[in-house]
Amino acid sequence: MIAEGAVLAVIGLVVVFLFLSLLVLVMYLISAIARRLPGPPAAAAAPGGGSREAEIAAAVAAARAQMRSRRPGGSQ
């Protein structure tokens, strides 16, 4: 009975190992295919001359300032 349990455990370990190996291989192949595909098109400049990143940074800074002003004890 112990021998049957050991065989079952070994079979389970082999199945899991093969599945994980297959998963790694598939992910590697998908990565290789994705590297060969062209990247996203470059974004056109905004008409106002400002960059989108600067607008996002300003919004984040404003949100953080508002959160700090609402927090008891002032800014930290």
pLDDT per residue over 9-45, tens digit each? 999 999 999 999 999 999 999 999 999 988 877 665 5
Give the span between the Cα atoms of 65 and 63, in whole angstroms. Answer: 5
Contacts of 69 (CB under 8 A, 6+ apart): 75
When pLDDT is averaged across residues 3-9 and rounded to a whole number, the result is 97
Q: State how far the alpha carbon of 19 is from the alpha carbons of 12, 27, 29, 30, in Å.
A: 11, 12, 15, 16
CB 60 within 8 A of CB 54: no
Query: Mean pLDDT over all residues of the chain?
Result: 87
> CA dihedral defined by 56, 57, 59, 62, rounded to 10 degrees?
180
When pLDDT is averaged across residues 60-73 and rounded to a whole number, the result is 87
Q: pTM for the complete prediction?
A: 0.48
What confidence score (pLDDT) does residue 8 get?
A: 97
* % of the chain at pLDDT higher than 70: 83
